[in-house]
């Protein structure tokens, strides 16, 4: 199967309100170019250095989304071009993004990554901390950051009920603050669980292997 074919099949299945982020991490420039030629403009990467190299090499109308864990000392490299950071999971990172965005006179769009998986390995802000942050006015301290929504990853499990319950949890947090915080993006769902995510209100899915094939790490 070719990338173009996979992509077109995928897009045909998607409801109108759901945006596709094509996750190109570990894949070569040529693969991203093929997806670009097929019409895809939004790509997700999980390493800042790799994303920067691809941004330099590829057409400038691509929107680059950071979806992976971000080290604060690397934030500055992506500020000039990143279009959405999905993986903001701690105050220290918010502060660093604010500082670097102010330096560049940019406003950076972000999502709060919330920990919904029961597994211990996943990153994300604990749900109570996220609730507290969204309940108060603390985000006003970051004028160069625009919070657009929430992101979450479900457990890697073959129990569909557990995945559904985790997505439901994030959906309820999103719905609770959607109006007061003017949120418009609920980023959840990957190759293995996007159908469940969409059933629970996802507006943005992050799909890698179903488009580009399995990754060889
Ligand atoms: C790798 C990755 C994806 C895509 O995973 P696939 O299973 O290949 O679709 C989505 N979200 C995040 C945060 C990732 O790191």
3-state secondary structure 107-126: CEEEEEEECCCCCCCCCCEC
Question: pLDDT at position 101, please?
Answer: 98
Which two three-digit tokens encode residue 118?
């029961």
Question: pLDDT at position 3, please?
Answer: 96
Q: How confident is the model at residue 192 (pLDDT cuts 50, 70, 90)?
A: very high
Neighbours of 155 (CB within 10 A): 17
C-beta separation of 43 from 21 below 8 A: yes
Distance 137 CA to ligand 1 centre (A): 32
Question: pLDDT at position 121, please?
Answer: 65
Q: 30-67, pLDDT tens digit by residue?
A: 999 999 999 999 999 999 999 999 999 999 999 999 99
Atom of ligand 1 nearest to the CA of 209: 8
Percent of the chain exceeding pLDDT 70 equals 98
Testing ligand 1's pocket by substitution, the residue of 190, 205, 209, 215 carrying the most ligand atoms inside 8 A of its CB is 190
Inform me whether the pLDDT recorded for 175 exceeds 80: yes
Q: Is 191 in the pocket of ligand 1 (CB under 6 A)?
A: yes
Distance 198 CA to ligand 1 centre (A): 15
Q: How confident is the model at residue 161 (pLDDT cuts 50, 70, 90)?
A: very high
Q: 92-115, pLDDT tens digit by residue?
A: 999 999 999 999 999 999 999 999
Question: pLDDT at position 216, please?
Answer: 77
Q: Output the CA–CA distances (angstroms, integers) from residue 147 to 24, 54, 73, 111, 127, in the order listed.
A: 24, 25, 21, 6, 16
Q: How is the chain split among helix, strand and coil, in percent rounded to 5?
A: 40, 20, 40
Q: Where do the domains of the chain lie?
A: 3-212
DSSP track, 69-100: ---GGGHHHHTTT-SEEEEE-SHHHHHHHHHH
Inform me whether the pLDDT recorded for 16 exceeds 90: yes
Class of domain 3-212: alpha beta
Backbone torsions φ then ψ of 3, nearest 5 degrees: -60, -45
Closest-CA residue, ligand 1 atom 7, reads 191
Q: Is 68 in the pocket of ligand 1 (CB under 6 A)?
A: yes
The residues, any chain, with a CB within 8 Å of residue 40's CB and separated by 6 or more, are: 7, 20, 22
Q: Is 209 in the pocket of ligand 1 (CB under 6 A)?
A: yes
Report angle CA 38, 41, 46 to the nearest 5 degrees: 115
Residues in a beta bridge with 110:
85, 147
Do strands 145-151 and 108-113 pair parallel, antiparallel, or not at all (unpaired)? parallel
Atom of ligand 1 nearest to the CA of 87: 13
C-beta separation of 154 from 116 below 8 A: yes
Inform me whether the pLDDT recorded for 122 exceeds 90: no
């Amino acid at each position: 199967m070719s990338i173009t074919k996979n992509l077109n099949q995928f897009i045909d299945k998607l409801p109108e309100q759901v945006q596709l982020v094509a996750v190109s991490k570990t894949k070569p420039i040529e693969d991203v170019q093929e997806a670009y030629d097929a019409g895809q403009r939004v790509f997700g990467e999980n390493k800042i250095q790799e994303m920067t190299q691809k941004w330099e090499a590829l057409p400038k109308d691509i929107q680059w989304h950071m979806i992976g864990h971000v080290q604060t000392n690397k934030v500055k490299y992506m500020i000039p071009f990143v279009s959405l950071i999905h993986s903001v999971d701690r105050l220290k990172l918010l502060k660093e993004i604010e500082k670097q965005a102010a330096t560049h006179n940019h406003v950076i769009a972000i999502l709060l990554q919330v920990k919904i998986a029961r597994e211990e390995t996943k990153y994300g802000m604990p749900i109570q901390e996220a609730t507290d942050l969204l309940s108060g006015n603390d985000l006003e301290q970051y004028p160069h950051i625009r919070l657009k929504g929430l992101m979450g990853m479900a457990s890697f499990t073959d129990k569909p009920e557990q995945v559904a319950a985790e997505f439901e949890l994030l959906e309820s947090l999103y719905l609770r603050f959607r109006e007061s915080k003017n949120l418009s993006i609920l980023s959840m769902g990957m190759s293995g669980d996007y159908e469940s995510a969409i059933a629970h209100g996802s507006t943005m899915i992050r799909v890698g292997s179903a488009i580009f094939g399995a990754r060889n790490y």
